[in-house]
């Protein structure tokens, strides 16, 4: 089969489109023919070099396609079925997995990070990862859902416990997580404020349901939040930017508010005054991907059309280098998809 692999870490030029052996599925696995695999910032971080990644390596966490082969021990699936894949692997038998906390499993890994991903024509995965998709979703849309909608759902619902009537600040409204978080906030009848770097992205975010938009290059986020909320602040900040926005995120919270973070795109060295934390009784929460229960919950809303993936642009798999360059330009609104 064809695949895009890393043989060394570095810029987009290290991506190689090449022939590799077809995977041989175990009897408890399903072989899926990949039709779409969307990019995440995780792909860029892995490409540049993350600890534990063994080379050569195949990127790609968000995968949709058709079942090519079903292992002997697998029931409930058939060849040709349209599916998407849960973007993680786990042991499925430890105490955490049995309790439904797969993202706390010691063997938990993200497809395309700890194990090979979907920038290829065929991938073999455990049957638990395989989820049928409705005809209402094409492959590019389905391949734009799993990681970002799972992450945003776990942040807002699983961790921050979003409630009707709250106000949520979503940083980076044009990102995959941002697009999902805006829609989830509105699904819970919360007020959504978002940020982006230009008016075109803010307009698209408003079309998704954002009530207010802040241009983070021209406006100070916390000051605008105070104006919008009559100096009260927000209940929840969806934070995935890191160092560049952390102080503004803190200043945007109301007393008793919560920051929930899943990433650090601009760096991890976030500092703050502990007195501000305890005097205003703030909560800082970490969030890592999500559980299989979270995934099935959010997919129920996606399949019903209450939450919608946004595809920015599709590239052929052989053009993965150009897709990475486009992602690093930060011009996209929504997901960038590779089509084998």
Structure tokens at 57: 């390596």
- pLDDT of amino acid 134: 98
Structure tokens at 46: 């892995």
Beta strands in the chain (DSSP E): 2-6, 15-19, 29-38, 57-58, 62-70, 82-85, 88-89, 109-110, 122-126, 130-132, 167-170, 191-196, 212-215, 234-239, 253-261, 283-286, 311-316, 335-339
Where in the chain is CATH 3.40.50.720? 149-286
As averages over each run of 10 residues, the pLDDT of the chain (340 residues) reads 98 98 96 98 95 96 98 96 98 97 97 97 98 97 98 98 98 94 98 95 96 94 97 96 89 97 85 89 96 98 98 98 96 96
State in words which class domain 2-145+309-339 has.
alpha beta
Per-residue pLDDT tens for 155-187? 999 999 999 999 999 999 999 999 999 999 999
- pLDDT of amino acid 266: 80
CA dist 16 to 39, 55, 110, 153, 202, Å? 16, 12, 21, 34, 35
| Homologous superfamily in CATH for domain 149-286 | NAD(P)-binding Rossmann-like Domain (3.40.50.720)
Structure tokens at 270: 């976030």
Q: Tell me the whole-structure pTM to 2 decimals.
A: 0.95
DSSP structure class, residue 157: I
- pLDDT of amino acid 292: 98
Where in the chain is CATH 3.90.180.10? 2-145+309-339
């Amino acid at each position: 089969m064809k695949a895009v692999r890393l043989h060394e870490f570095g810029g987009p030029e290290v991506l190689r489109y090449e022939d590799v052996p077809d995977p041989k599925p175990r009897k408890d696995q399903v072989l899926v023919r990949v039709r779409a695999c969307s990019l995440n910032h995780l792909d860029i971080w892995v490409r540049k070099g993350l600890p534990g990644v063994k080379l050569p390596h195949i990127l790609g966490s968000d995968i949709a396609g058709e079942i090519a082969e079903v292992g002997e021990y697998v029931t409930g699936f058939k060849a040709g079925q349209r599916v998407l894949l849960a973007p993680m692997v786990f042991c499925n038998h430890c105490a955490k997995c049995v309790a439904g906390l797969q993202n706390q499993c010691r063997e938990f890994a993200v497809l395309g990070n700890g194990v090979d991903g979907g920038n290829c024509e065929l991938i073999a995965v455990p049957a638990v990862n395989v989820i049928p998709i409705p005809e209402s979703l094409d492959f590019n849309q389905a391949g734009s859902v799993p990681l970002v909608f799972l992450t945003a759902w776990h942040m807002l619902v699983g961790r921050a416990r979003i409630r009707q009537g709250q106000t949520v600040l979503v940083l980076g409204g044009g990102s995959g997580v941002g697009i999902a978080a805006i829609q989830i906030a509105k699904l819970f009848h919360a007020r959504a404020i978002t940020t982006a770097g230009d008016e075109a992205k803010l307009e698209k975010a408003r079309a998704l349901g954002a009530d207010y938009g802040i241009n983070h290059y021209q406006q100070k986020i916390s000051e605008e939040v105070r104006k919008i909320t009559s100096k009260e602040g927000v209940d929840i900040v969806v934070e995935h930017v890191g160092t560049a926005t952390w102080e503004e995120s803190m200043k945007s919270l109301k007393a008793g508010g919560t920051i929930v973070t899943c990433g650090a795109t601009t760096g991890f060295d976030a500092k703050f005054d502990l007195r501000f934390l305890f005097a205003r009784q703030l909560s800082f929460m970490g969030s890592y991907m999500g559980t299989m229960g979270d995934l099935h919950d959010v997919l129920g809303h996606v399949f019903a059309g209450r939450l919608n993936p946004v595809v920015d642009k599709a590239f052929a798999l052989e053009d993965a280098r150009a897709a990475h360059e486009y992602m690093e330009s930060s011009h996209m609104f929504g997901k960038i998809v590779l089509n084998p």
